[in-house]
Amino acid sequence: MVVRGPARPEGDGDRDADTGAAPGSGGPPMLVVGRIVKPHGLRGDVIVSLTTNRDERVAPGSALRTADGREFQVVRSSSHQGRFIVTFDGVAGIDAAEQLRDTDLFASPLEDPDALWIHDLIGSVVEDRRGTELGTVVSVEANPASDLLVLEDGALIPLRFVVGTVPGERVTVDVPDGLFDLA
């Protein structure tokens, strides 16, 4: 399973990784997990668009940070037209919510040993089962059939061919004969 990571480097595109330090802290790496799109209503609720497929990022009790280091605790959230209406502790009224418009939201990586994390794939060397180096992953591209590893030479490898990883270092793939002869 691939879990959507950040949206842009240091906010990176919809699939790339942000492996920089935690916003405003010099602490552990943080990932862009969403963006406050706009206020919703008069009470201070906001519309959040997630850049991850992990809805627990906006579950009540979750903490999200901004690039300037502010931390917001989720009090309440509900799904709304493919995004989320979120109430943050300390954000009261439309004026406070308006100040957060277009703000990226960051969080620490989740622990899930069964997931392939985009930020762990970017920069990894790809090799086949024989140990032949095929290139380095520069991004992960969404594709309805299977997300694709994009190598620095433009080659595309469906994630369904990944058979092993060493996060941040190496991705082992089992590709059909001739896959790279199509170019």
Write the pLDDT tens digit of every residue in 119-155: 889 999 999 999 999 999 999 998 888 889 999 999 9
Domain count, the chain: 2
Name the residue among 168, 174, 182 with its Cα closest to residue 134: 174
Is residue 114, in this structure, part of any structural domain at all?
Answer: no
Average pLDDT, rounded, for the chain:
84
Q: What CATH number does residue 130 fall under?
A: 2.30.30.240
Question: Which residues, at least 6 apart from 146, have a Cβ–Cβ distance to it below 8 Å?
Answer: 158, 159, 160
pLDDT digits (tens, 9 = 90+) for 12-57: 333 333 433 445 555 567 888 999 999 999 999 999 999 888 899 9
pTM of the model: 0.66
State which residues form the domain around 85: 2-107
pLDDT at 167: 83
Is residue 151, in this structure, part of any structural domain at all?
Answer: yes
37 phi/psi in degrees, rounded to 5? -85, -50
